[in-house]
Amino acid sequence: MMPVIVILLNTIFFLFINFLRFRYTHHINKSIFVISGTLFSVVNAAVIGFEHAVWLGLIVLFVLAASYKWIGSFSGALILIAIYNMVELYPNDLLFITSGYLLFSFSTAGIFHYFNLQNYRLNRWQNFFYKQSKNLHVLREVSLALQSTLKLDKLMHIFLTAVTAGYGLGFNRAFIFIQSDESSNSFSGRLAIGPLSVEEGHVIWENVVSQKLTLRDFIKLQREAEMNDHELNQMIRSYQIHINETHQLFHFVLTEKEPIIVEDNVLDSDDLLQSIKDRFSMKQFAIIPLLTRGKVIGLMMIDNIVDQKPIEYEDLDNIMPLATQGAMAIENAMLYEKTESMAIEDALTKLKNKRFLDRMFPHLQESAESNKTDLTALVMDIDHFKVFNDTHGHLLGNEVLIQMGQILSDAVNDEDIVCRFGGEEFVILLPKAGIDKGVQVAEKIRETIRSYSFKGMEAQPFGRITASIGVASYPETTTKCEQLIHLADEAVYEAKNLGRDRTVCFYEKKSEVCR
């Protein structure tokens, strides 16, 4: 009865140890498996007699082959044979047992080796496939999203989102610098996505994950992203990079048009690199050129501030197609913005033009009417400007118009609109301002013009350049909001008729001189 109990206890002990071995690291786990398997065989051999050690030894060889493959299996076989030889267990059959053990070791270790190799290959293929699949997925989503807009800020947000979101390429932070108009070696910070510190990174990431946001959600959440990274964006927008030959790595990126990885410990002597590292708490980071038609239009920097995952060259290979696609979209958007701005801007005074006014006025009118708010229009005409042009020529006349533009821009707030209506006529729209404010602004402008020292003004009547201004305000002086500019223009005529150099307000019931 006793041997049966020992065999059962031995079996239970072996299974129990096998349960516990998963508590430990892989190496300890393997050692425990080998030791427990050997102990199991030894105890069983002790119970049924060591003459059975020959086949119980196969269990030891099996666990050794499973744990340590060829080395484990063959060294186990040799040790067992040495033991048998020492204790003279099988003196007559030792050669036969040796051959058997070696053959068994070869077969079992071979089988395990084969499975391991297959697993390794499968794993490698899987990793490769997953990466490719993800890159393709990101490229697809981003291509779709990039073509949805021509707004530069939105495009850059989409692009950086694709680089930083886990659903995208998953870098912790990314910064975009765009080449300045003045110099091809100067770059201004435009947009960044990412945290300022590891701790902030963890908080943001937990929020993102708890809200279950996807790449498309990030793309749509531009405003929220800017709020999250407000401080970083403030820093980046005030940051400029000027690259010269002494900045070797940046210079390499510009000239060779190749991305590079900047290691944490390199080139502390490079003041530009050091400044970037200090400013944004960067360790290892990558610089990627934004290339379009062979030209560098900007630079992107990426780093992994939160998880400190090293950036590898394979990552750069993956990011380049996306960077090029982003660069093309950014260049298109910049060109579009430039064209759009040219279309609504007066080339001489740099004020907005009539086209802009025609486009903008209906919005302001609708807003004033639906929100029941004030809207005041000022129309200004330079007095005797034809005389000035005839006397001094159009070149000097243009100079006066440019200075007028500056005077008008300085006289109004940011939300007010100043346009050159045509010739020497200007229109100013003051949203949410009543007639009193309108007259106040008009008088300020008139007084400034009157006292301004224009070149050639001596030849003008009364020896100075003056302006007549008409003011109309909705709903105070007229209920016809749609005719506001026209009515202010009528008031200008009234001002002209009354002797020029004055401000006249239009009142629906009757025209009335304000000043």
Q: Does 159 bind other proteins (CB under 8 A)?
A: no
Q: Is 3 in the site for other proteins (CB under 8 A)?
A: yes
205: nearest Cα among 339, 304, 81: 304
Write the Ramachandran bin of 303: left for phi over 0, alpha for psi from -120 to 50, otherwise beta: beta
**157 neighbors 307 (Cβ within 8 angstroms):** no
If DSSP codes are grouped into helix, strand and coil, which group holds residue 192?
Answer: strand
Tell me: does residue 44 bind other proteins (CB under 8 A). Answer: yes
**Neighbour tally for 443: CB within 10 Å:** 17
Length of the chain, please?
Answer: 515
Q: Residue 456 interacts with other proteins (CB under 8 A)?
A: no
CB of 62 to other proteins, least distance (A): 7
Burial readout 386-410 (b: 16 or more C-beta within 10 A, e: otherwise)? eebbeebeeeebeebbebbbebbee
208, 161 Cβ separation under 8 angstroms: no
Q: How many CB atoms lie within 10 A of CB 469?
A: 29
- Token pair 């390429």 is found at 169
What distance in Å separates the CA atoms of residue 121 and residue 101, rounded to the nearest whole number? Answer: 30
Comparing CB distances to other proteins, the nearer of 4 and 395 is 4
Q: In the structure encoding, which two tokens stand for residue 7, read together?
A: 């065999």
Report the candidate in 336, 165, 476 with the shortest Cα–Cα distance to residue 344. Answer: 336
Per CB under 8 A, the list member of 25, 265, 339, 453 interacting with other proteins is 25
Range list of β-strands (E), 328-374: none
Q: Kindly state whether residue 325 participates in binding other proteins, applying the rule CB under 8 A.
A: no
Judged by CB under 8 A, does residue 110 bind other proteins?
Answer: no
Return the range that interacts with other proteins (CB under 8 A); candidates 208-216, 236-244, 248-256, 425-433: 208-216
197 scored as a contact of other proteins (CB under 8 A): no
Based on the shown chain and the rule CB under 8 A, indicate whether residue 454 belongs to the binding site for other proteins. Answer: no
Q: Which helix (H) or strand (E) holds 297?
A: strand 295-303
Nearest to 300 by CA among 291, 290, 292: 290
Of these, 69, 113, 216, 354, which contacts other proteins (CB under 8 A)? 216
Interaxial angle between packed helices 94-146 and 152-164, expressed in degrees from 0 to 180 and rounded to the nearest 10:
170
Minimum gap (Å) between residue 101 Cβ and other proteins: 17
Select the residue interacting with other proteins from 68, 167, 239, 426 (CB under 8 A).
167
Q: Which is nearer to other proteins, 155 or 449 (CB)?
A: 155
Of 6-14, 78-86, 329-337, 392-400, the window that binds other proteins (rule: CB under 8 A) is 6-14
Q: Does 219 bind other proteins (CB under 8 A)?
A: yes
- CB contact set of 507 (below 8 Å; sequence gap of 6+): 477, 478
Which of 19, 181, 293, 509 touches other proteins (CB under 8 A)? 19
| Span interacting with other proteins, options 121-129, 286-294, 403-411, 487-495, rule CB under 8 A | 121-129
- Residue closer to other proteins by CB (options 5, 459) is 5
Residue among 29, 332, 373, 389 that touches other proteins (CB under 8 A): 29
**160 residue type, one letter:** L
Question: Which of residues 134 and 486 has its CB atom nearest to other proteins in the complex?
Answer: 134
Residues interacting with other proteins, by CB under 8 A? Answer: 3-4, 7-8, 10-11, 14-15, 18-20, 22-23, 25-26, 29-30, 33, 40-41, 44, 47-48, 52, 56, 59, 62, 66-67, 115, 119, 123, 126, 129-130, 133-134, 137, 141, 144-145, 147-149, 151, 154, 165-167, 170, 198, 202, 205-206, 208-210, 212, 214-216, 219-220, 307
